[in-house]
Amino acid sequence: MHSTSIDHLQHEHDHSPSAEHHENRTRWVVAITAAMMVGELAIGTITNSMALTADGWHMATHAGALGMSAGAYWFARTRARASSFTFGTGKVFALAGYTSAVILGLVAVLMFVESCRRLGAPVPIRFGAALPVAILGLLVNLVSVKLLDSDEHHGHQDHENHHHDHGHAHPGQDHNLRAAYFHVLADAFTSVLAIGALLGGRYGGWTFLDPLMGIVGGVVIFKWGIGLCRDAARQLLDVVPSTEVANAIRRRVEAIDDVRVTDLHLWEMGQGRHGCIVSLVTGTPRDTSFYREAILQASPVAHLTVEVHRCPDHQPE
Q: Which helix (H) or strand (E) holds 207?
A: none
Same domain, 142 and 16: yes
For residue 279, the model assigns a pLDDT of 94
Side by side, the strands of the sheet bearing 260-270 are 260-270, 273-282, 303-310
**Same-domain pairing of 76 and 172:** yes
Within this chain, do residues 102 and 209 fall inside the same structural domain, yes or no? Answer: yes
More confident residue, 104 or 267: 267
Mean pLDDT on 203-230: 82
Please say if the pLDDT value at position 97 is more than 60: yes
Residues 161, 77 share a domain? yes
Q: Are both 118 and 266 inside the same structural domain?
A: no
Confidence of residue 9 (pLDDT cuts 50, 70, 90): very low
Nearest to 19 by CA among 103, 83, 97, 93: 93
Q: Is 5 part of a structural domain of the chain?
A: no
Q: Which CATH number is 42's domain given?
A: 1.20.1510.10
β-bridge partners, 310? 282
CATH number of the domain residue 275 falls in: 3.30.70.1350
The pLDDT tens digits of the residues spanning 239-287 come to 888 889 899 999 999 999 899 999 999 988 776 678 899 999 999 899 9
Residues 93 and 166 in one domain: yes
Most confident of 10-24, 86-100, 117-131: 117-131
Q: Please write the tens of the pLDDT for every residue from 57-79.
A: 767 766 777 777 777 777 777 76
Residue with the larger pLDDT of the pair 254 and 227: 254
The whole model's pTM is what?
0.64
Domain span at residue 90 reads: 10-236
Most confident of 195-199, 222-226, 245-249: 245-249
Please give the tally of structural domains in the chain: 2
Q: Quick check: 7 pLDDT over 80?
A: no
Contacts of 48 (CB under 8 A, 6+ apart): 123, 124, 125, 126
State whether 284 and 218 are in the same domain: no
**Of 220, 236, 252, at which residue does a domain stop?**
236
Domain-embedded: residue 72: yes
H helices then E strands: how many in the chain? 9, 3
Asked if residue 300 and residue 214 are part of one domain, the reply reads: no
